[in-house]
Chains A and B, each alone.
Chain A
Amino acid sequence: MLQYWIAILTEAAIFGVLALGIDMIWGWSGDFDLSAYAYFALGVYMTMVLTIGKPSPPVEYILGWHLPYLLAVPITIIVVIAFASIIGAIALRTLREVYFSITTLGAVWAIYYLVENFTPLFNGYNGLSGLFDPMGGGLSYNAYHYLFFAFCLIVLFCVYLLVMRLSRSPFGRMVRAVRDDERAASVYGRNVFWTKYRTYLTGAALAGLSGSLFAAYIGAFNSLDWAPTEIFVLYAAILVGGRGNPRGVVLGSFIVYVGFVEMTRYIPSPAARPELGPALRQILIGLLIILMLRFRPGGLIPERLGTDGSQGRRSRMRSMFQAQQDGHDESVATAHADDGSDS
């Protein structure tokens, strides 16, 4: 039983990292990105091909460098960022909101079919496998899994600290100011595209990192594991926890992963109907998304606009007062008052 819980919690921690990344793009920057799961998948694939050996004839994939895991992770992240920078440059330059989502939706399906059918890249439909041992050998099965769980928790915690710091920094406020009123933010000298682009790439980097963790956790990966619709689970988690608030996002991903895995465990899944359990799970996730959006769009721990607890009460009052006077949105006034560090 303990192993079972460790497995679920490890998964929740890995997807917590991914959710924090996606939340930067959607929560802070307001861009509903449907291709983020492709960055996660690319992270998994890249980590795999970097750490496993050369392919033997019927199987084919690129690289196969047999690098140590901790060296493969940064390379993976760089590759993912490079890849996201192409899609981000297309989707973010002039397209917003619904058009942005459509473009990323097209991108993720195009990538999906490309990876599935173009075998020389990542062995196509059959995917990659090759168990490896990121912690260095010599551990028993259980000890290894406990250690890996601890490792994931530490990574999640570090990412959380980093994201929280970014969120409270002038950069975090600038991103939100751009989200809330692009025109006003650009009048105050912010570069709208560059702000959104950097947020997008940071989010993609976190997606790549969580992909690296997932590669070590799962050990084998093929295209069935990353149907682009899987991303809705993460959006459900972000919506439940509180969009734009890192604390809420981590909470949400634990609630959704643990809650849903536990709930769907008791759905009878007869051998003749293996699709029943997963299908019901998807339906529940769809319902969860719609109901949260309709009745509690802020989530359990809503984002506190502009301030995020970093400012004193007085300056918060002042910025609100200023906002009323200028007839502006609060956050824009905050961005003005704080003067986001770079320009």
Chain B
Amino acid sequence: MNIFWISVGSGIAIAAILALSAVAFTLEYAVSRVVNLAHGETLTIGAYSAYVAENNFHQDLYICALIATAFGALAAMALNFSLIERFRNQKPLATLIATLGASLILQNAVLIGFGGASVSYTFSQGNLFHIGPFLWTALTIKVIISAVVVAVLIYLLLQRTRLGKALRAISQNRELAQVSGIPARRVVMQTWAVAGAISGFAGFLYGETIGTITPTVGNGFLLLSITAAVGGGLGRPYPTLGGAVVLGLVMSIASTYTSSAYQLVIAFGFLVVMLLVKPNGLFVRGRISTVRA
């Protein structure tokens, strides 16, 4: 029973990071109707920029977090400006293929820059704490708290600011929003900046939790983010959050009993069940017969 709770505890940390990554992914989909397969690379860029910052700024956790966030945002904005907006008039599938190309380019650019071997963060994991039935390190607790804080910030952004309102309008109908005087291009760009910032931060948190990163760190996270977003409800931030939490817990509990190498296999099983049973998302009402995007 003890093992079970420890694994649920580590599952909560991963689920928290996954939730941030999946929300960023879903926000990108909400405003641009694009399944961004280069999403993982914004996480990678965040993680690696934090690694560089750590080597240069003497392990200040907060400066590293800030730099990861900034570089994630820059990467996502560059992606939106140079690729997504140029493919706006094409089919969603063409854009998806183009983001695949972008993912190849970015991933291999990181590979050239930092080499294929893994690099390590040297933040100390801190003391162990027993909280309720869980066993967490100080660092894990920081990760969970900051993920919750970011999630609250996202909620406030969506519900209480003009940008959030404009974002929601655009996600429902871009043309109509534009007609009503919302500067669509600017709002889309700002949304990508926010999404990139979130995913850069998520990449940093993930590196911090795991300790080592490789150029494919984000790519492994991409499939999980897609699964969480599709499982919860693609393009809808709150259902996506729910989907990420469910997926994170399912994976951590399942991998207590099997090898952790099968995590992605489990995630795919989850995705397939979701798509077959409730194709438009776990937390979204209604049914549709054929799913297309």
By a CB distance below 8 angstroms, the chain A residues around B293 are: 97-99
Known A-B contacts A101-B35, A106-B268; A96 and B292 likewise in contact (beta carbons under 8 Å): yes
- What residue in chain A is nearest B272 (Cβ atoms)? A90
A113 and B261 within 8 A (CB): yes
Total number of A residues with any Cβ neighbor in B under 8 Å: 40
Known contacts being A95-B291, A106-B272, A279-B112, is A289 close to B264, with CB within 8 Å?
Answer: no
A113-B292 in contact (CB<8A): no
Residue B145 at the A interface, CB < 8 A?
no
Main secondary structure of the interface of A (DSSP, over half): helix
Interface size class of B (residues with CB under 8 A): 35 or more
Contact yes or no, A276 B112, CB < 8 A: yes
Q: How far is the CA of A282 from the CA of B174 in the complex (A)?
A: 35
User: Taking the nearest CB of chain B, how far is it from the CB of A270, in angstroms?
Assistant: 12
Give the nearest-CB partner of B100 in chain A.
Answer: A232
Task: Tell whether, in the assembled complex, residue A32 and residue B96 are in contact, meaning their CB atoms are under 8 Å apart.
Answer: yes
Which residues from 1 to 59 on chain B have a C-beta closer than 8 Å to any C-beta of chain A? 35, 37
Q: Tell me the complex Cα distance, A96–B288, Å.
A: 13
| A279 B108 Cβ-Cβ under 8 A | yes
CB of A98 within 8 A of CB of B116, answer no
Indicate the member of A94, A96, A276 with the most B CB atoms within 10 Å: A94
Are A289 and B100 within 8 A (Cβ)? yes
B103 at the interface (CB under 8 A from A): yes
Stretch at the interface among A4-12, A46-54, A152-160, A290-298: A290-298
Asked if A147 is at the interface (CB within 8 A of a chain B CB), the reply is no
Please state if A95 and B275 are interface contacts (CB–CB under 8 Å): yes
Q: Which residues of B contact A97 (CB under 8 A)?
A: 91-93, 292-293
Residue from A273, A275, A279 with most neighbouring chain B CB atoms (10 Å): A279
Which residues in A have their C-beta under 8 angstroms from that of B98? 289-290, 293-294
Q: Which of A71-104 contact B (CB under 8 A)?
A: 90, 94-99, 101-103
Distance to closest chain A CB from B224 (angstroms): 10
Known: A282-B108, A286-B101. A117 touches B261 (CB 8 A): yes
Contacting pair A106 B271 (CB below 8 A): yes
The answer to whether A286 and B112 touch across the interface, beta carbons within 8 angstroms, is: no
A274 to B90, CA, bound (A): 38
Contact A109 B223 (CB under 8 A): yes
Cβ-based interface call for B153 (8 A): no
Is B269 located at the chain interface by the 8 A CB criterion? yes
Q: Which residues of B contact A275 (CB under 8 A)?
A: 111-112, 115-116
* B289, A32: Cβ atoms closer than 8 Å: no
Distance of A113 from chain B, by nearest CB (Å): 5
Please tell me if the beta carbons of A294 and B105 are within 8 angstroms of each other in the complex.
no
A286 touches B230 (CB 8 A): no
In A95-154, the 8 Å CB interface with B consists of: 95-99, 101-103, 105-107, 109-110, 113-114, 116-117
Nearest-CB distance from B233 to chain A (Å)?
A: 13
Nearest A residue to B269, CB-CB = A110
| A94-B276 Cα distance, complex, nearest whole Å | 8
> What residues of B have a CB within 8 angstroms of the CB of A290 in the complex?
83, 98, 101-102, 105
Which residues of B have CB within 8 Å of A37? none
Complex interface: chain A residues within 8 A of B138 (CB): none
The answer to whether B291 touches A110, judged by C-beta atoms less than 8 angstroms apart, is: no
B265: A residues at CB distance < 8 A: 110, 113-114
Other-chain contact of B268, A109, A279, A289, A294 (Cβ < 8 Å): A109
Residues of B within 8 A of A106 (CB): 223, 226-227, 267-268, 271-272
On chain A, the residues within 8 Å of B91 by CB distance are 97
Measured between alpha carbons, how far is A197 from B91 in the docked complex, in Å?
22
Among A30, A102, A282, contact of B35 (Cβ-Cβ < 8 Å): A102
Can you list the 10 inter-chain pairs with the closest CB atoms, starting with the nearest? A286-B104, A110-B268, A98-B293, A289-B101, A286-B105, A286-B101, A279-B108, A106-B268, A117-B261, A290-B101
Chain B residues near A (Cβ < 8 Å): 35, 37, 83, 86-87, 90-94, 96-98, 100-105, 107-109, 111-112, 115-116, 223, 226-227, 230, 259, 261-265, 267-269, 271-272, 275-276, 279, 289-293
Besides the known contacts A282-B107, A283-B104, 14 further A-B residue pairs in the complex with CB atoms under 8 A apart? A95-B279, A95-B291, A97-B93, A105-B37, A106-B268, A117-B262, A232-B101, A286-B104, A286-B105, A289-B104, A293-B87, A293-B98, A294-B87, A297-B90
